[in-house]
Amino acid sequence: MSTESKDEGSLENEQESLSEEGEYFDYPNYYCPEEDDREDEFLYPKWRNVPRSPSNFCVSKTTISSCRDSDYERWLENYYNELVLKSLPSYAEKECDTSDLMDTKKPQEIFTSKFPCIRNEPWEICTKYWGPHDIRRHYPILKGHGEYLFIPSIYPNLNLRSRYGRFQSLLYTAAAIPEESHKVKMRNIFKMYIDRAALQNPKLLRVISNSFLYTNLYSLKWYDFVTKKGIMRRLCKFFKTQRHLEKVYFEDADLKRMEAIILLCALSRSGGSQIKELHMWKMFGYGQCPLLMSELPERGSSGKFYFDYFGPCRVLTGTWFLSVRKAEDNKSMEFFTRIHYLQILYKFSSLTHLSVNYAYLANPEGDALLCVRSLRNGVLRELRILCLKEERPLLTNPAYGVGGWLIPDGVWRRATEWCPDLRVKFVFVNVPQYENIVLFLSKSIPVSSVNISTGPIFDFEVPWDLDSTLLELRNWYSSTLVSLTLHLWHHRDLLDFVIKSKILDEFPNLVHFEFIGVLEDVETLNAFCCQLSKGIYKLKNLLFWVEERYTNRKKLETTRRRVQEIRETFRKKFLVIDIDADIRTYAM
């Protein structure tokens, strides 16, 4: 009896000490190693590691996939109510394993812990905190007639200690593939949605966004060839009947080469002369650039075709040119997508806004840009070009479709002669260092906006020489640059001197300026605002966010207080000279 009482007393003291030390007693299963471990099932949970249904629920005892929606909700509610009763502090016994509470248990051992969840409220009241023992949370989408479809969502409350761990967890969740039952439901809803849209009056439907191919809920790469072929047929049939579209968005569609060309072909045949805006950022998947790889690799002597490319092409019979080459015992079918892609660009004759990747308009001859018919007609007003690291010019590997060609400077001069009102906007996403950024630029480009974003990078330590990049922009585009955006997340460049003394003077026509990043001294912001408050510049929109990079609480509070003082000091002055300013700090 004495030993048992000692054990119980030691366990209570241990729990009290843990609760005094930090917040880990409330969430014992939230374990995150400092290093990235892709074998960790906690950071990378599997879709099928679902607990079995309780004994009082007899409708389905296999998996959640076989449950109806109402049964699923009832099962989940009963399961969580049981966990509430089991996870109370009185549930702890003398031989209970508490190593997971002390943060000493390995991730693969946490799943067998006797503390699956610490929660003091039932399912109806508290639904925020949940651990790896629980099934993945779903958010509902209204399907119709009061019926909901549940789509998997992320873990919202992982108490990960490292920033890299939080980023990898969100990245995994965003790219996760749902269960087969959810894919079937989404496929049926997608087909039903297209069929209903095709029956509507085409004059009422003027905008098609990428909700058809929204990557968070739906992606063509999840499905096999037969399902994908049926979806492509429905999409092409739908686009053929739409003759009054004005805006079409295919951003982040991540399609294969022939799939994307088929959709563009069907769209150009029906509404090529009516569409005003076409947005194609990342429409082609990685390694699927239509101008970089003109033919498929050869196959062996088996004579099989490339069904993942050839099957969707049968949707539009008679619109493709096939070239069959016979060499000795090898048979191969080659699709020359470059010619068809250039023909499609020529059919869009009324475009005023075009958003494409740089690699989608770059070929060795430079005729891809000149094939845009709206550019030749002088109608195109805005060309938005996305520049990625893997599509750098002069870094080509046609065997894998990686890299890109360089658009000659003479082609840009010819484009400005045909379309004098053309304005080009460059967006650089995760393109490191000055040498790589300059490859995309040319002296004759009528650049009006430059957006440089470092992206979510946590491992680089080499500066990007952004001061040299800004110097090059000043030499070429000082008179035409209207908007400059610098989103420098976790960067190593010190731009205090450039911001204080060069931005406003070297870009006199600048109207919009955004800076998100690190400042060595907060007084740089004060000097910039003092210079701007003189009222002699054309800048009207200002967004200035300073990163909270100090770990010392005293320095952090000093930075926040100083930024707030600067914002309050210049608020009235900016209102007088009609400047919309957003000045704040942010935590990285």
**pLDDT score recorded for residue 514:** 92
The answer to whether the CB of 542 falls within 8 A of the CB of 532 is yes
The answer on pLDDT for 299 being more than 90 is no
The answer on pLDDT for 587 being more than 90 is no
Sign of torsion, CA 373 376 382 383? positive
Residue 138: both structure tokens together: 């779903």
Q: What is the per-residue DSSP string for 219-273?
A: -GGGS-HHHHHHHHHHHHHHHHT-----EEE-TT--B-HHHHHHHHHHHHHHHTT
- β-strands 147-152, 138-144: how paired? antiparallel
For 131-142, how does the pLDDT look when each residue is reduced to its tens digit (9 = 90+)? 344 444 444 444
The answer on pLDDT for 354 being more than 90 is yes
Q: What is the per-residue DSSP string for 112-155?
A: T-S-S---SS-TTT--S---TTSPPPEEEEEEETTEEEEEE---
377 and 515 together in one domain: no
53 and 131 together in one domain: yes
Beta strands of 389-482 (E only): which ranges?
A: 423-429, 447-453
11 and 126 together in one domain: yes
Q: At what angle do helices 180-199 and 225-240 cross, to 10 degrees?
A: 20
Residue 425: both structure tokens together: 């906007």
The percentage of residues in the chain with a pLDDT greater than 70, rounded to a whole number, is: 52
Exposed/middle/buried for residue 351 (C-beta within 10 Å: 0-12, 13-18, 19+) = buried
For 203-241, how does the pLDDT look when each residue is reduced to its tens digit (9 = 90+)? 555 555 434 444 444 566 666 777 777 778 888 888 887
Q: How many CA atoms lie within 13 A of 184 on its CB side?
A: 5
Residue 300: both structure tokens together: 């062996």
Residue with tokens 């019979």: 317
In a domain, 436, yes or no: no
Judged by DSSP in three states, 201 sits in: coil
262 and 387 together in one domain: yes
The answer to whether the CB of 316 falls within 8 A of the CB of 267 is no
**pLDDT score recorded for residue 364:** 77
Domain count, the chain: 3
- Most confidently modeled of 241-250, 301-310, 424-433, 450-459? 424-433
**pLDDT score recorded for residue 53:** 37
216 and 150 together in one domain: no
Give the pLDDT band (50/70/90) at residue 185.
Answer: low
Question: Of 142, 176, 210, which residue is a domain's last?
Answer: 176
Give the pLDDT band (50/70/90) at residue 453.
Answer: confident
221 and 356 together in one domain: yes
Sign of torsion, CA 328 329 331 336? negative
In a domain, 398, yes or no: yes
CA angle at 87 for the pair 86 and 88, rounded to the nearest 5°: 100
For residue 585, the cross-strand partners are 546
CA distance 507 to 478: 5
Mean pLDDT, rounded, for 328-353: 69
CA distance 110 to 133: 9
**pLDDT score recorded for residue 113:** 34
Report which residue type is found at 559: T
242 and 326 together in one domain: yes
Report which residue type is found at 275: I
Q: Find the CATH number of the domain harbouring 289.
A: 3.80.10.10
The answer to whether the CB of 182 falls within 8 A of the CB of 152 is yes
- β-strands 322-327, 330-335: how paired? antiparallel
497 and 421 together in one domain: no
The answer to whether the CB of 451 falls within 8 A of the CB of 427 is yes
Beta strands of 260-352 (E only): which ranges?
A: 277-279, 322-327, 330-335
165 and 210 together in one domain: no
Question: Of 150, 176, 202, which residue is a domain's last?
Answer: 176
Query: SS3 string of 61-99?
Result: CCCHHHCCHHHHHHHHHHHHHHHHHHCCHHHCCCCCCCC
Report which residue type is found at 61: K
Q: Which domain holds residue 513?
A: 446-588
Length of the chain: 588
CA distance 334 to 325: 8
In a domain, 290, yes or no: yes
Question: Of 116, 147, 176, which residue is a domain's last?
Answer: 176
**pLDDT score recorded for residue 198:** 67
209 and 170 together in one domain: no
